[in-house]
């Protein structure tokens, strides 16, 4: 099989792209790697060629990512095309694991999960669930670990834009990647299914990407998905009436695209207790025991069903927080269903937002609802205990106040999670436990010592030591990786006092490190540390 690997980019940094290009070029199985640069940047051309990839660009940015892919299809010839976003770093075995599905000549697409290595992102939350996966829960875990595998049974797996392989003849048969909407991936898949092609899901993590780091990037990405779905629903490719789809496919697509309307329900459930507490008007005729006998089983069975069907990825409170966080963006995006506006494809930013006031501005709708809820609770207390109301109404207001307090607590957790997040560095450090050998240099009483390296990235490291080291101290470092020993010179940035029995935490940045050594570190981090395949932990332990 002949394979072309496409890495799509527009404005991502050299640091982000270097890891992706390097890993793509080093994937096992013969292939050609192409960097598709819609930014037309000389430094990216230089980077691509230095790492062994070909560089492609075009005169304009028509149709954004879809247009970029179609332009590359016109000047390449591989039977299959593997597509990666600029930040998704593939494992060496990616092609080996996915290409065999295409022995079935009807298969047009093989999609793999999207997992994210920056576990301090806004998208991550909850605790590690070692029984389910050896990685941290994130907002898309349920989709990639439960929903997409379920879609595989119904031949309704859809392309998610990255970490996928497509058959060239299948793409060409529908005119290339869909350009009519800003969600080219799901739209393209609907066209493929309508034309009779099959899609498959390989449920194994074979690449690691960057999750949106802050609220701005998170909402830009989710709003684009919602707006693109609205564009599809108002087109002839609406899955409810598009020709060529089976009934299971129609239902599966509708389940994924109608989820954006759930935000209207979420906001109604937040607004209802406020209205009740302020007006003392109940939204139902029946109240008390009769209501609880109907409502309690409904709620209990709903929560139980969600828990069982989620296969351990439900995380109720985290899911509720994210539903609130996205609600206003989804409601706003729903306007695209009725308004025929030209929508601009917005690239999800891969770097940290520095303007903290923008985070606060984006959270203002939630803060406004929180303030309204607090005022409504105070008003209800006044009405219930300091005015003439019936015992039944007093009881109703008390129960509604409890509901409002729950909503207020959830909103508080949501906003707090946004506004209290902090980062120590621009580039994520991977947690590690590898052996390091250090030598102090440029001082009279230079010493050598061994220490465990506890975090690492291609530009710096952290290790534990029995004593503090002065900022600015130069160190010669030897790191024992599974395949080789990497050497570099590092400069101490800070020393943090012991937290428990671990010793001083020393942070350092690399002052001198060869490109060869940096690339070896990158391949190690993304192959064995970010989303480790089976056996990687044993390899690292053996090296240590």
How many whole angstroms separate alpha carbon 283 and alpha carbon 266? 16
CA distance readout (Å), 433 to 236, 298, 464, 474: 54, 48, 10, 22
Closest-CA residue to 408 (of 372, 439, 433, 444): 372
Closest-CA residue to 484 (of 449, 529, 531, 517): 517
Both tokens of 224, joined, read: 């684009």
- If one counts every other C-beta atom within 10 angstroms of the C-beta of residue 361, the result is 12
Q: Of the listed 37, 38, 85, 318, which one is catalytic?
A: 38
Annotation says 38 is catalytic: yes
How many whole angstroms separate alpha carbon 377 and alpha carbon 382? 9
Asked if 114 and 162 touch (Cβ cutoff 8 Å), the reply is yes
* Beta-bridge partners for 84: 7
Both tokens of 21, joined, read: 């290009």
Asked if 390 and 291 touch (Cβ cutoff 8 Å), the reply is no
What does the buried/exposed string (b/e) look like for 208-239 if buried means 16 or more CB atoms within 10 Å of the residue's CB?
bbbbbbbbbbbbebbbbbbbbbbbbbeeebeb
By CB atoms closer than 10 A (0-12, 13-18, 19+), residue 324 is: buried
Residue given tokens 């022995």 in the structure block: 103
Number of Cα atoms under 13 Å in the Cβ half of residue 281 = 5
Residue 480, classed as helix, strand or coil, is strand
How many whole angstroms separate alpha carbon 357 and alpha carbon 389? 44
**What residues contact residue 315 under an 8 Å CB cut-off, 6+ apart?**
125, 126, 137
Annotation says 60 is catalytic: no
Alpha helices by DSSP H, listed for 127-194, are 141-142, 148-153, 168-173, 184-194
Residue given tokens 């891969």 in the structure block: 350
Q: Of the listed 85, 185, 213, 519, which one is catalytic?
A: 185
Both tokens of 161, joined, read: 């834009």
- If one counts every other C-beta atom within 10 angstroms of the C-beta of residue 478, the result is 14
Q: Which residues have a catalytic role annotated?
A: 38, 185
């Amino acid at each position: 099989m002949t394979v072309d690997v496409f890495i799509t980019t527009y404005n991502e940094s050299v640091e982000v792209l270097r890891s992706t290009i390097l890993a793509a070029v080093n994937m096992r199985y013969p292939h050609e790697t192409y960097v598709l640069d819609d930014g037309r940047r000389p430094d990216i051309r230089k980077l691509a060629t230095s790492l062994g990839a070909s560089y492609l660009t075009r005169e304009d940015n028509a149709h954004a990512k879809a247009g970029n892919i179609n332009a590359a299809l016109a000047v390449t010839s591989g039977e299959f095309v593997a597509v990666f976003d600029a930040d998704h770093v593939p494992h060496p075995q990616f092609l080996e694991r996915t290409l065999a599905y295409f022995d079935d000549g009807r298969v047009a697409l093989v999609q793999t999960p999207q997992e994210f290595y920056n576990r301090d992102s806004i998208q991550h939350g909850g605790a590690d669930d070692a029984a389910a996966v050896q990685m941290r829960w994130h907002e898309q875990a349920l989709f990639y670990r439960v929903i997409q595998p379920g879609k595989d049974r119904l031949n309704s797996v859809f392309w998610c834009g990255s970490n996928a392989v497509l058959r060239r003849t299948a793409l060409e048969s529908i005119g290339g990647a869909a350009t009519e909407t800003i969600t080219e991936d799901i739209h393209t898949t609907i066209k493929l299914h309508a034309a009779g092609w099959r899609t498959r899901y390989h449920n194994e993590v074979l690449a690691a990407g960057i999750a949106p780091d802050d609220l701005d990037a998170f909402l830009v990405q989710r709003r684009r998905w919602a707006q693109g779905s609205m564009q599809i629903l108002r087109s002839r490719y609406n899955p409810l009436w598009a020709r060529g789809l089976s009934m299971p496919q129609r239902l599966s697509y509708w389940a994924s695209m109608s989820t954006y309307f759930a935000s209207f329900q979420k906001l109604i459930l937040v607004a209802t207790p406020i209205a009740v507490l302020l007006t003392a008007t109940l939204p139902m005729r029946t109240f008390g025991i009769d209501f609880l006998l109907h409502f309690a089983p409904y709620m209990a069975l709903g929560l139980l069903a969600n828990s069982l069907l989620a296969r351990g990825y439900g995380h109720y409170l985290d899911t509720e927080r994210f539903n609130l966080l996205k609600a206003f963006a989804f409601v706003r995006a729903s306007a695209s269903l009725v308004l025929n506006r030209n929508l601009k494809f917005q690239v999800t930013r891969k770097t940290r937002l520095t303007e903290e006031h923008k985070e606060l501005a984006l959270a203002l709708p939630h803060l406004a609802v929180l303030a309204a809820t607090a005022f409504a609770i105070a008003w209800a207390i006044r009405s219930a205990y300091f005015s003439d109301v019936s015992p039944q109404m007093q009881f109703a207001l008390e129960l509604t106040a409890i509901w409002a307090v729950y909503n207020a607590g959830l909103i508080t957790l949501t906003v707090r999670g946004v506004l209290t997040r902090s980062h120590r560095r621009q580039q994520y450090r991977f947690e590690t436990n590898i052996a390091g050998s250090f030598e102090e240099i440029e001082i009279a009483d230079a010493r050598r010592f061994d220490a465990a390296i506890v975090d690492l990235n291609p530009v710096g490291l952290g290790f534990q030591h029995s004593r503090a080291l002065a900022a600015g101290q130069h160190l010669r470092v030897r790191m024992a990786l599974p395949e080789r020993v990497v050497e570099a010179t590092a400069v101490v940035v800070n020393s943090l006092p012991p937290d428990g029995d671990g010793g001083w935490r020393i942070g350092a940045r690399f002052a001198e490190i060869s490109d060869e050594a940096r690339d070896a570190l990158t391949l190690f981090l993304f192959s064995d540390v970010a989303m480790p395949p089976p056996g990687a932990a044993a390899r690292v332990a053996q090296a240590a």
